[in-house]
Structure 1
Amino acid sequence: MSPAPDTASRLDVISAICQRLLESAAELEDAAVDLLPFPRQVVRADLALAVSRLEAFAGVTPRLAGRSPLGRVALALPGNAILSNPLATIAASHLAGNKTLVRLPRQRQAWTEVLTGLVGEAAEFVDYDGAGFLSHAMRQPEIDALMAFGDDAWAAGYERQARLTGTKFIFEGPGKDPFLVLCPALVDEAARAAVEASTFNAGQACTSPERFYVVSAAYDDFVERVTDLVRELRSGDPKDPETQVGPLAPGVARRIDDQLKDAVGKGAVVLSTGLRRSMNVNGEERVLVPPIVVAGADHRMKVMCEETFGPVIAIQRVGSIPEALELAEDSPYGLSATAFGRVAGVAERLARSHGQVFVEETWLSQRRKKPLAPYGGRRRSGWVWEWQDEQFVRRDGPRHNFLEFSRS
């Protein structure tokens, strides 16, 4: 079925963005390395993902049949976004037929200018501080929906405004994603996947696994294998093309220090794979924190309960699969979960507490196969607030932005 004429013209705009991206890929990669604090390897992977996401929109147009745009959508995008998140989110709103207003953090002003040139007519970028933009979007009657990425602690405070104004509020929040190793025969495969998924972009992805539950029969081998693998990673200056793990914001580094001190004080063993040091990256103060393994972790420790958002692999020994499941569920967050070992009922149970479940693969391998996989988690990891049939409702779970930005 061919898309409706309006949808087809909007798809042409998205295709034009993708073409500009392809034609200027090398220049964009260099610009990102010069303007952002992320390693070239991360930038290159994100650029490739942005292309695949934009190309995938042609396949979702049938799902918009019979739907209409919300009207005007405001997007408050995160500071760790490079290309794939901004471009795919803008494209989803545009494909649904909306006028789109976009705000990135002010320290990303130079990068905002790059994105402005890329998206052209698909979005308008504005300069606001974060709280100011959210309040502005909520107050404007012509803005029908606001999507924000960030911390659930401040996002929860906007419920009253959402109720009063009727603005649809779509929130993408933190994760504290569990990774379960349930089969000793899969230790090597699980360890490789764990290290790749938890240290990509220095763990600065909300879907990075941060807490690992390993059955006793696999525990010692898993800890040893993960430790060997993180030692092989190259940490350093993002401008060095060999760097795999770059530096963090100072606040994140302080949070990691606090979590590690707490863990050691409660009996965990902490292995750091290199020297921590401060550095200036493109005018931003950053702290290099090489990957860290925490063995002997448990739920008394902050590192197993609070978001880390850094390259820390905290591992807990469990005596059984039911114990692993209970611990995985024991969190206020539920963005995604990973399990190595195809045990009956595990994925179904995790799906009730987490947005997405990856079985013998990770969020990285999943997004390579399905670049337009749904966003969204459960509990405090994300939600949608909106009025439906004169009732204010809150819902959570996986969702597609192009559907959230349209109505039936």
Structure 2
Amino acid sequence: MTIVPIRQPIDGRHRPMFIGGLWVEAASGQTFETRNPATGEIIATVPRGGRQDIERAVAAARNAFVGPWSRFKPHERQKLLLRITDLFERHWEEICTSDTTDMGLPIARARGNANRVLGMLRYYAGMATALHGETIENSLPGDIVSFTRKEPVGVVGAIIPWNAPTAASIWKIGPALATGCTVVLKPSEEAPLTPLLIAELMAEAGVPDGVVNVVTGTGAEAGAPLAEHMGIDKIVFTGSTLTGQSIVRASAGNLKRVSLELGGKSPVIVCADADLERAVPVAAMSVFANSGQICIAGSRLFVARSIHDEFVERLSAYAASLRIGNGIDPETEIGPLISPRQLERVEGYLRAGSEEGARLVTGGTRLSHGALAAGNFIAPTVFAGVSDTMRIAREEIFGPVISALPFDTLDEAVRRANDTPYGLAAGVFTRDLATAHQLSRRLQAGSVWVNTYHAIDPAVPFGGYKMSGYGREGGGEHLGEYLNTKGVFIRID
């Protein structure tokens, strides 16, 4: 079968999926459309993959895992990852444009992700030659040498969301390549195009056939069969807590390894001594970045009562100043929501906030004038007068909505911040070093940022507490998630 080139201008064409080194159609012959959320226009059609396609992809990944890929040495995997990085760097504008048109990410923000994504690839390349076991002095009788081996877990099923197609794809594929695993990637049906572009770039870099496979389709028709497949050794998933629970149940068939990065309702605590010039824009963009469609959004904003009113006033002015529009415009700061369905969901929370007694300070409306009419745009929104029991303060909205809540003591702020089933991230703004250390220790979250937010480094583990999932992405722990540890005993006397 001839490989179909993908890297072409966005023109509404059809794009096949990638299995075993070939561009193929769904076994059913069915397709679905993907649309630009800023304009509503059809970008492309892609195959509507299902169980048969997952079977094909898993078989291709297994053949690659036991075949030529198994003979790649660590330094060869490292060289391959560095070639991929170079290709990504050369085609970065193309990748950014794909993310912007497919899911609405402002292109200025997409361009700014280069250090993070390329840094991840280079980090995995560096780690590829640093994975090893250890010799262990044992207490057994006789002359026995014991040591451990680190071996790839096998075929990895990766299911990613639509809100960060490039970073999410690399967070799954990168450590698999570094450790010698193979991958079947199921992107979100809302944003499948960038993962297909990534597959092409990896093939161009020399990734062997079957090592990276991309199956497009819905969660029910492609994601669920992948999660339950007996030929999958590990599932990595980023998405909603509800879907994560389903994946855990589906994994029971062969007790496959599972890593989950799930939902959040992250608190941000602004202390009375905070530098407001820094805190206001950072706290605002902790939520408004990516139009609030980010799992770590700091949407519960706890502000010391003595500065609460001033902070909310500054925050609202900042929100109102943000430029909203089509992400392809480099001046755009806030793009659209991913779909009409997500728009309707966020509008429901806006109504709930007002109905439950919160005070709308700014935003709170759909923007449908002029060039925004055909897109899924919500004005950045700030609610004050919010109580901890309101839906907007307890449920993950996945939209540009901040709930401001005053507090009187730090003990109170910590207690209320931790009163959530989630524990993905948290933020603190203070000038006091002791307060920074105390709060970062007491907050129940996988990541705590002090006087900053969204700082993610490839060398630092990232993941959740409680219902925000388990397993880590980033750091040595990340690659450990893709490895088995084998104990070996050799009698030599």
Whether contact under 8 Å (2:103, 2:162) holds in the other structure is no
Whether contact under 8 Å (1:80, 1:204) holds in the other structure is yes
1:41 correspondence with 2:108: yes
Out of 259, 263, 284, the position equivalent to 2:349 is 259
- Higher mean C-alpha deviation, range 92-101 or range 107-116: 107-116
Match of 1:233 in 2: 322
Out of 156, 175, 181, the position equivalent to 1:73 is 156
1:116 correspondence with 2:199: yes
Structure 1 residue 290: Cα displacement: 1.6
Structure-to-structure mapping, 1:307-322, within 5 angstroms: 307-322=396-411
1:356 correspondence with 2:447: yes
Structure 1 residue 106: Cα displacement: 3.0
When residues 159 and 5 of structure 1 are mapped into structure 2, their CA distance, relative to the original with a 3 A threshold, is: closer
1:378 correspondence with 2:469: no
Structure-to-structure mapping, 1:7-406, within 5 angstroms: 7-61=74-128, 64-66=131-133, 67-120=150-203, 121=207, 122-248=211-337, 249-273=339-363, 276-277=366-367, 286-341=375-430, 342=433, 343=435, 345-350=438-443, 353-363=444-454, 366-367=455-456, 370-383=457-470, 400-406=477-483
When residues 398 and 205 of structure 1 are mapped into structure 2, their CA distance, relative to the original with a 3 A threshold, is: farther
Whether contact under 8 Å (2:78, 2:129) holds in the other structure is no
Distance in 1, Cα, partners of 2:303 & 2:241 = 29
| Consecutive aligned runs of 4 or more in structure 1 exceeding 6 Å deviation | 395-399
Distance in 1, Cα, partners of 2:252 & 2:274 = 51
Structure 1 residue 185: Cα displacement: 4.0
Structure 1 residue 233: Cα displacement: 0.8
Aligned-partner residue type, residue 185 of structure 2 = V
Structure 1 residue 299: Cα displacement: 1.0
Structure 1 residue 245: Cα displacement: 0.4
Whether contact under 8 Å (1:46, 1:82) holds in the other structure is no
When residues 293 and 371 of structure 1 are mapped into structure 2, their CA distance, relative to the original with a 3 A threshold, is: same
Structure 1 residue 99: Cα displacement: 1.1
Q: Classify the secondary structure of the residue corresponding to 1:402.
A: helix
Structure 1 residue 373: Cα displacement: 2.9
Structure 1 residue 23: Cα displacement: 1.3
TM-score by length of 2: 0.72
Note the aligned Cα RMSD (angstroms): 2.7
Aligned-partner residue type, residue 298 of structure 1 = S
Distance in 1, Cα, partners of 2:269 & 2:83 = 42
Task: For structure 1, list consecutive stretches of 5 or more residues without a partner in the other structure.
Answer: 385-394
Aligned-partner residue type, residue 49 of structure 1 = R
Identity %: 26
TM-score by length of 1: 0.87
Whether contact under 8 Å (1:279, 1:288) holds in the other structure is no
Distance in 2, Cα, partners of 1:397 & 1:300 = 34
- Deviation string for 1:354-389 (max 9, x for gaps)? 1111122212xx22xx234323101111125xxxxx
Structure 1 residue 144: Cα displacement: 0.5
Distance in 2, Cα, partners of 1:252 & 1:54 = 31
Distance in 2, Cα, partners of 1:185 & 1:162 = 45
Task: For structure 2, list consecutive stretches of 5 or more residues without a partner in the other structure.
Answer: 1-70, 134-149, 486-493
Structure 1 residue 159: Cα displacement: 3.4
Aligned-partner residue type, residue 194 of structure 2 = W
- Deviation string for 1:53-110 (max 9, x for gaps)? 2122244346522221001111011111231221232011111110111111234343
Higher Rg = 2
Aligned-partner residue type, residue 152 of structure 2 = P
Distance in 2, Cα, partners of 1:406 & 1:317 = 46
Match of 2:31 in 1: none
When residues 111 and 263 of structure 1 are mapped into structure 2, their CA distance, relative to the original with a 3 A threshold, is: same
Whether contact under 8 Å (1:213, 1:315) holds in the other structure is yes
When residues 129 and 38 of structure 1 are mapped into structure 2, their CA distance, relative to the original with a 3 A threshold, is: same
Match of 1:387 in 2: none
Structure 1 residue 5: Cα displacement: 7.5
- Deviation string for 1:15-41 (max 9, x for gaps)? 111100111223333344344422211
Aligned-partner residue type, residue 346 of structure 2 = I
- Higher mean C-alpha deviation, range 141-150 or range 305-314: 141-150
Whether contact under 8 Å (1:356, 1:398) holds in the other structure is no
Aligned-partner residue type, residue 299 of structure 2 = E
Q: Classify the secondary structure of the residue corresponding to 1:254.
A: helix
Whether contact under 8 Å (1:187, 1:218) holds in the other structure is no
Distance in 2, Cα, partners of 1:109 & 1:325 = 39
- Deviation string for 1:230-271 (max 9, x for gaps)? 122101122222111011132332232222222223332113
Distance in 2, Cα, partners of 1:276 & 1:135 = 34
Match of 1:392 in 2: none
Q: Classify the secondary structure of the residue corresponding to 2:191.
A: helix
Q: Classify the secondary structure of the residue corresponding to 1:106.
A: coil
Match of 2:6 in 1: none
> What count of residue pairs does the alignment treat as equivalent?
386
